[in-house]
Amino acid sequence: MEYTKEEMMIITASKMLQNGEVCFVGIGLPSTACNLARLTHAPEIVLIYESGTIDTKPHILPLSIGDDILAETASTVVSVPEIFNYWLQGGKVDVGFLGGAQIDKFGNINSTVIGPYRNPKVRLPGAGGAPEIASNAKRTFVIMKQSKRSFVDKVDFITSAGFLGGGNERKDLGITGEGPTCIITDLGILEPDPETKEFLLTHIHPGISLEEVKNNTGWELRISENLKTTHEPSKNYLEVLRDLQERTSNSHSQSTL
C-alpha cells in the first residue's frame, strides 16, 4: 500500500507512544500522531491539551487548543493553572509531544522568530505552553518535517529548551525533565548522543538515502553506527490515519459553509 513521507512520519511518531501513558499534546502534527496512537495500539493513552482538557477523545482533529471538540470529549476539564501546576509541574506527564519551526543539533526548539529577535524576518506564533512542557514532561518527543531551513546548527531563538549547549548544561541548570528523547521526521529518527547530547540519525525511513537526509540537515549530521531502517506503515495504520484526516477535513469544511 503506497504512502507519503508525511504519513510515514506521523505513523512512526504514533508508535513511539505506549498505552496508558499521560501525554501533553501540541496542536498540528503532534495531535495527529497522538490521536492515531489512541485509535490504534494505545486506546488507554491519556491525552492532555493546554486548555485544561484531560483524557480527551476527539473524533476529529482539533484546530486549536480552544476547539470545543476537546472539551466535549474529555473526561474532565480543569483550569489552565491546574494543568500546568498540578499535572505538568507535578511530574504527572510522561510525554510532551511538540513541534516547531526550527530545531537545532541539541534539540532546542524555536517557535518565536526567524532572524534577530528585535528585527525578525518572520514573527512566529510564539511559545504557548511549549517551554513548560519541554522543561517538565518526563520525556519530550518532537515531530517536524526535515529541511535545512528547519534543522539548523543553532536556532535563532530558544523557545523551548532541549539540551541547550549540549553535555550536562540542561541538567546543571536544574531543568527537571529528561529532555527531547527523539526527533521524528519525514526522513528518519534522530536521537541524542548519551554524552554530548548532539542529535544523530539512528533510523532512516524506507526509500530514503543518507545523502537526502544530510542534504536536509543544517549541521554536519552524525550517523549512528547501528543505523536501522524504520518499518513501513501497515495497511491498518494508513486506513485509520486517512479516515481520521478525511473526517476532520469534512467536518471543518462544513463548519465554514
Which residue numbers are catalytic? Answer: 50
Pairwise CA distance, residues 15 & 237, whole Å: 10
Pairwise CA distance, residues 205 & 214, whole Å: 13
Q: At 114, which helix (H) or strand (E)?
A: strand 113-114
Pairwise CA distance, residues 244 & 91, whole Å: 31
The cell for 84 is: 500546568
Pairwise CA distance, residues 29 & 27, whole Å: 7
Q: Which residue has the cell 540537515?
A: 217
Report which residue type is found at 204: I
Pairwise CA distance, residues 212 & 126, whole Å: 30
Q: Find the distance separating the first CA and the last CA of the chain, reported in whole Å.
A: 34
Q: Which residue has the cell 482533529?
A: 61
Beta bridge partners of 76: 54
Bridging pattern class, strands 95-98 and 139-143:
parallel
